[in-house]
Each structure stands twice: as structure tokens, then as C-alpha cells.
Structure 1
Amino acid sequence: MTGSHPRRRTPKGPLVLDTRELGRRPGSMRRVQTQAALPADLGAEMMWVPAGAIATLDLRLESVIEGVLVSGTIVAPLKGECGRCLAEVSDIGTVEVRELFYYADRAVDMADDDDARVLAEDHADLEPVVRDALVLDLPLSPTCRPDCAGLCVDCGARLDEVGPNHSHDRLDARWIALSVLAEGAPTGTDQGRSDPDESKEKK
């Protein structure tokens, strides 16, 4: 039948919002302030959301002609490693979200749009939205503090702990082979001196 659309199952999870109270009255609005557990696999190589983390959501749900507009902020704890000294880093991530969830009958002509969000039984699943917003906002190379000195390239010690006078004697690589040879060669004095007892035996 023209204009028909497949029936979507009601999503479940801590990041699913029920929008039925809004009805389909454009302009009606509801504020949602809640906390929800986040998925365990959110993050990048150097920064991530710790397992079991709880996010704080402060959102506004607004009914529009096409669907329900969800906007607001999401705050979540973060952990990671300093990109300079590898020390543990803890932070708080705050991201803004603004996403339109279409009514199923309004999304019929958007079947080819993979990025379009669609309500399922008047429920909005925020997990993909939260995932995209948090991961894209994570720093690629976090630091424990802006002036972190990093690690010593010779011994791996944290430069902030060993102090500014920490250093290592470096031998020019071009002289290393010569030094090895010199350690195994006889000295100039030994080369020009013979054993007196050995000379008497020869006579």
C-alpha cells in the first residue's frame, strides 16, 4: 500500500526516552533530567568512558511537525592516559546534542538516509546520538596537565618527577666502534717494551 511503512519494535535501554506525553501537538515541550548508564565500549585509544559510567542528561523534548526534536547536554566521566607521560587522566566530558527523531510515517521518503533517526512506538533511542557526540568530542592526545614535560627518551622516567637536571651522557654513535676496539687493543707502552727475562732466554 502506498505510504505504508514497516512497524518498528519499541527500543529498550537506559537511553530510551518515551515521547508519548507530547502527543503530536507541534510546540508542546517536556524537559527530561535524569541519569543513565552508558555502554561499555565508548571511547578512543587514549581516552574513554569507564565501564559502568553514569551520565547525567539534561534534555528538552519538543514536538514539531516532522517528529520530536531532542536537544540539551550530556555529562559523563572520562578516563584515559596522558599522551606525554602515560599517567592516568580523569576528566568530565560535556557535550551538546540536537537531534530530530522523525515520526515513522514522516520518514517513509527518507529510507535511503542512514543518518535519519526515527521514533519507534513513540520512543527515541538516544544511544547512537550519545555515542557519536561523546566519541567525536574526545581528545586524541589528552594530557595530565598542559605543561606536562613527558618522559625521558633514554630511561623512560617522568621528567616532572626527576627534575630539570636529569640527563644522560651520550656517546656519539660514530665513536662507539672505535671505543670497543681501543678497549681490546694493547697500549702504546706495551707495544714498545719487551720482557727482559724473555731477551735473556733468547741469548
Structure 2
Amino acid sequence: MREQQFDVPVPEQLGEGLVSIRQGSDLAIDVRLESVHEGILATAEVDATAEGECGRCLIDIALPVRVEFQELFAYHSGEAFEYEVQDDHVDLEPLIRDAAVLALPFQPVCRPDCPGLDPETGQRLADHPELVTPVENDPRWAALAGFTASEDEGADAASDADQQRD
């Protein structure tokens, strides 16, 4: 077994869209390679920073990206494996690239409650709270405004009902 920790510069941008891991930024890789009967088992944790813009208010953001994966690189055999040991080496680049790109958010936001932009002026609503219009409830739902849900009794209620039936 071998454990290695190293930083690698990103050779090309990882991801498209609103956020991506930029070319030249560093990937912090912590990998463990274990010899097993079928081949080499690679377990890795990768940390990076994705940069881009918020999907709601369009300000620049930087998000931490952390991915973990485990993959078996099989020795050459009659069976078909997705990853194989090539000349006593394993190529982690496709695994790291795929895992990092899949971990990127589809609609990144600067904060979970980001209100976005004002549709008329284009100004950030977080900077101008006076532009936020209150949400009006649909009058058809007014009868339910005072409704409070009952507490879930869980398994105890079901057992009481079963006892009453018996």
C-alpha cells in the first residue's frame, strides 16, 4: 500500500457553465493505492476551488469542491474492465476529472437565500432590500392560512390502533 499527498495544477478547465475549476488552479490530491488480487485499488480525496458567478445575482463566487472516489484498476485478463493497469501504472486523471465535474453545482448561488436581481432595474436585491416586493398569497388558499398540522404519532399510534382492533 502507498499513500501520497500532492498538489497538481489543472491542465485544462474542468467544467462548463456558471462555475468551473479554472485552468492552472491547484488540485489537492490525497490518494491511497492498494495492491489487491484483481489489481490496484485506488482511493482518493480531491479538494479544489471552483470559481464562477452566482446563478441568481451574477456576482463572482468561489466554492470549495471536495470529491472522494474509489476505483479498481484491474490487471490484464480476459474480462473487460473500465480501468486497467497499464505498464504497472494507473491513470487517475479521467477519474479525477469526471468526479470533480460531476460535483460542480448546476445552479450555484452565493448564499442559499440569495434573492437574485430586480427584474426591472437589474440591481441586486440583496443590496437594495427596498426593491423586494412582498409575496402575495393566492386568495384561494386563504382558508388554509390558520391550519396547523397535527403532530405525527409515528409507530406508537399504529400500535394503539392495532390493539383497539384486536
- The structure-2 alpha-carbon separation of the partners of 1:98 and 1:149, relative to structure 1 and needing over 3 Å to count, comes to same
**Take 1:51 and 1:119, find their aligned partners in 2: how far apart are those partners?**
28
> 1:129 aligned to 2:95?
yes
TM-score relative to the length of structure 2: 0.75
Shift in Å, 1:44: 2.9
Q: Percent of pairs identical after alignment?
A: 41
Q: How does 1:1-203 map to 2 (within 5 A)?
A: 29-103=1-75, 105-106=76-77, 108-110=78-80, 116-162=82-128, 164-166=129-131
Letter in 2 for 1:58: D
- Structure 2 residue identity aligned to 1:85: C
Report the Cα offset of residue 120 of structure 1: 1.2
Structure 2 unaligned regions, length at least 5 = 134-166
Task: Name whichever of 34-43 and 153-162 sits farther off.
Answer: 34-43
Structure 1: state its 5+ residue gaps.
1-28, 169-203
Deviation for aligned residue 1:167: 7.0
Q: Which amino acid aligns with 2:92?
A: L
Measured on the aligned residues, the alpha-carbon RMSD in Å equals: 1.6
Offset of residue 53 of structure 1: 1.1
Letter in 1 for 2:70: R
Higher normalized helix content (fraction of residues): 1
One-letter code aligned to 1:139 = P
Length, aligned pairs only:
133
TM-score normalised by length of structure 1: 0.62
Once the 2 structures are TM-superposed, how far is the Cα of residue 72 of structure 1 from its aligned partner?
2.4
1:133 counterpart SS class: helix
Q: Please state whether the residue corresponding to 2:23 is helix, strand or coil.
A: coil
What are the superposed Cα offsets for residues 42-61 of structure 1, whole Å, 9 maximum, x if unpaired? 11311100120111111110
Q: Aligned letter for 2:79?
A: D
Q: Is the 8 A contact 1:44 1:138 kept in 2?
A: no
Higher relative contact order (CA 8 A, sep 6+): 1
Runs of 4+ aligned residues of structure 1 deviating over 3 Å after TM superposition are: none
Cα distance in 2, alignment partners of residues 165 and 34 from structure 1: 49
Bigger radius of gyration, 1 or 2? Answer: 1
